[in-house]
Structure 1
Amino acid sequence: MIQVLIIEDDPMVAELNRQYVNKVDGFTVIGHASNPAIALELLTQTKVDLLLLDIHMPVMGGLDFLRRLREEKEDVDVILITAASEMNQIQQALRLGAIDYLIKPFEFSRFQESLMQYKTDYYNLDHKNKVSQQELDCMLRKKNKPVQRKSIIPKGLTKATLKRIIDLMGKDDSPIFSTEDIAEISSISRVSVRKYLKFLTEIGYLEEHLVYGIGRPIYQYKVIKSNQYLIAPYL
């Protein structure tokens, strides 16, 4: 049984993660730490195979905690589960040896995929004295392969039009734009543009605000620069 320690300062999120872990065969939660200091104490008291670690926590941040684990050569694997989506934090986590990075909110299927991949590629191999080149190559390819979202472009939308609309967003001098702005410069109907902007908002690529003024309310959008990588799997 793979022993999991959850490090999360929000009790509700910690409980949800515990429930998720218990749904995956072969894993069990052996404890919950509300901050890294408690986690360090638990690590000295019991065997832990896998940490589910948040980044934003009091006392010591998740990345600082992960850095300390590596400095002290703690033999434990780490999956980051956090709302932090900035690329520099993701890169730091991976460079410090995190085996996966889940951005909240996420679906259970993605969580399950992460744990099952860990069970196959890390935990099982860790219990072998030797591995074949084929086993090693398989693990490294999966590790270096960018995570692809299973979501596909909604029915009725096309990659070509999606790319065109994204390109037009960068041609506007103003960082904030509306459905009408994109429709005017693209010659695409307002109804169609609205569908694409709604999709981009749902995947976290755009930030949407409803502005009330004279007449009907207007939806305004802004590209979330730190989340631009989210669009790559759809193009």
Structure 2
Amino acid sequence: MIRTIIVEDDPMVAQINSLYLGKIDGYELVAAVPTVQDALPIIERDQVDLILLDIYMPGEDGWSLLSKIRWLGQGIDVIIISAANDKESIKKAIRYGAVDYLIKPFEFERFHTALTSYKEDQVFIDEQEELSQNDLDNLLLHKEQHHVACTELPKGLTKNTLKLIWEKMLEHQAEVFSTEEMAQLVGISRVSMRKYLFFFADIHIIETEIVYGAIGRPIFKHKIVNLDHQLIEKYLTS
């Protein structure tokens, strides 16, 4: 298992990335923490193979953590997940040895590609005593061949339920709705509904806002922002 920690200060993004990670075989989530200061003790105490790292956070930023990891000489790989898309940030990530860079917002298939590619690389390297130039070229260059549009639903989601939720959402397209409200309309659990709504958010069909009340848990409120039926149809007909 590839032992992974998520360092992300946005709780919604951290939760989505945790769910995404859980959909990919071969990964174990060690912890999801909001700051570099929270991540350092875990790295020092536990075996960690991979960090999914945001850059801009309160306190020390992601560059600081990357620098500390390299200075300590720890064999931990890093995939940057950040809204920063300027060339200096990307060049800096390459210099610091990040194995991939995902620009927010991204779709599940890009996340899946990054994590699957990384896992395949680790398995391949572990099986070799020596690598030929051809092996090394394939290892370093094959990522370009993986970024093909995926129309498969994430593990645990079904076409029939996706279609039913989409139809119910269209009936209430002018309304803001909660996860629980939509779960009751469709007739599935709130936990299951949350997974489908995360998927809709990931492909930019809905926007989600966290509403904090005076007491109790926060409520996730959703609203349709994109009525492009083709975005859904490709998952229903593939």
The residue matched to 2:20 in structure 1 has which SS? Answer: helix
| Displacement after TM superposition at 1:123 (Å) | 5.0
Are 2:35 and 2:60, in contact at CA under 8 Å, matched by a contact in 1? Answer: yes
Q: Distance in 2 between matches of 1:16 and 1:92?
A: 26
Does the Cα contact within 8 Å between 2:82 and 2:102 map onto a contact in 1? yes
Identity %: 41
Partner of 1:4: 4
| Greater gyration radius | 1
Taking a change above 3 Å as real, the CA distance of residues 148 and 22 of structure 1, as seen in their structure-2 partners, is closer
Aligned residues: 152
Question: 2-side partners of 1:30 and 1:73: how far apart?
Answer: 20
By how many angstroms is 1:100 displaced?
0.4
* Map of 1:154 onto structure 2: none
Cα distance in 2 between the residues matched to 1:125 and 1:68: 25
Instruction: Report the Cα distance in structure 2 between the residues aligned to 1:122 and 1:21, rounded to whole angstroms.
Output: 17
2:29 aligned partner: 29
**Cα distance in 2 for residues equivalent to 1:52 and 1:138:** 24
Counterpart position of 2:83:
83
Q: Kindly indicate whether residue 51 of structure 2 is the aligned counterpart of residue 51 of structure 1.
A: yes
Q: In structure 1, give the amino acid aligned to 2:83.
A: A
Distance 1:118 1:8 in 2: 20
Alpha-carbon distance, 1:147 to partner: 8.4
Deviations 1:14-71 (A, max 9, x none): 1110000000111121111211111110011111111000000111111122122111
Aligned twin of 1:116? 116
User: Could you say if the C-alpha distance between residues 29 and 74 of structure 1 is closer, same or farther in structure 2, counting changes exceeding 3 Å?
Assistant: same
Aligned 8 A contact 2:7 2:51 in 1: yes
Aligned equivalents of 1:150, 1:123: Cα separation in 2: 24
Structure 2 CA distance for partners of 1:22 and 1:119, relative to 1, 3 Å: same
User: Does the aligned pair in 1 maintain the 2:50–2:77 contact within 8 Å?
Assistant: yes
Q: CA separation of 1:126/1:95 partners in 2, compared to 1, >3 Å: closer, same or farther?
A: farther
Asked if residue 98 in structure 1 is aligned to residue 68 in structure 2, the reply is: no
Whole-angstrom CA distance in 2 between matches of 1:126 and 1:83? 33
> CA separation in 2, counterparts of 1:146 and 1:95?
23
CA distance in 1, matches of 2:123, 2:45: 21
Give TM-score, length-normalised by structure 2: 0.58
CA distances 1:177-207 after superposition (whole Å, capped 9, x unpaired): xxxxxxxxxxxxxxxxxxxxxxxxxxxxxxx
5+ long unaligned stretches in structure 1: 152-235
Paired residue secondary structure (1:74):
coil
Q: Deviations over 1:69-94 (max 9, x none)?
A: 11111210000011111110011011
Return the offset for 1:124. Answer: 3.9
Aligned to 2:17: 17
CA–CA distance in 1 between the matches of 2:89 and 2:133? 32
Alignment of 1:112-151 (within 5 A): 112-122=112-122, 124-126=124-126, 128-142=128-142, 145=144, 150=149
Query: Once the 2 structures are TM-superposed, how far is the Cα of residue 109 of structure 1 from its aligned partner?
Result: 0.4
Tell me: CA distance 1:122–1:94, structure 2 relative to 1, closer, same or farther (3 Å).
farther
Do the aligned partners of residues 57 and 122 (structure 1) sit closer, same or farther apart at CA in structure 2, a change above 3 Å counting? same
Alpha-carbon distance in structure 1 between the residues aligned to 2:33 and 2:123: 22
Q: C-alpha distance in 1, partners of 2:57/2:122?
A: 27
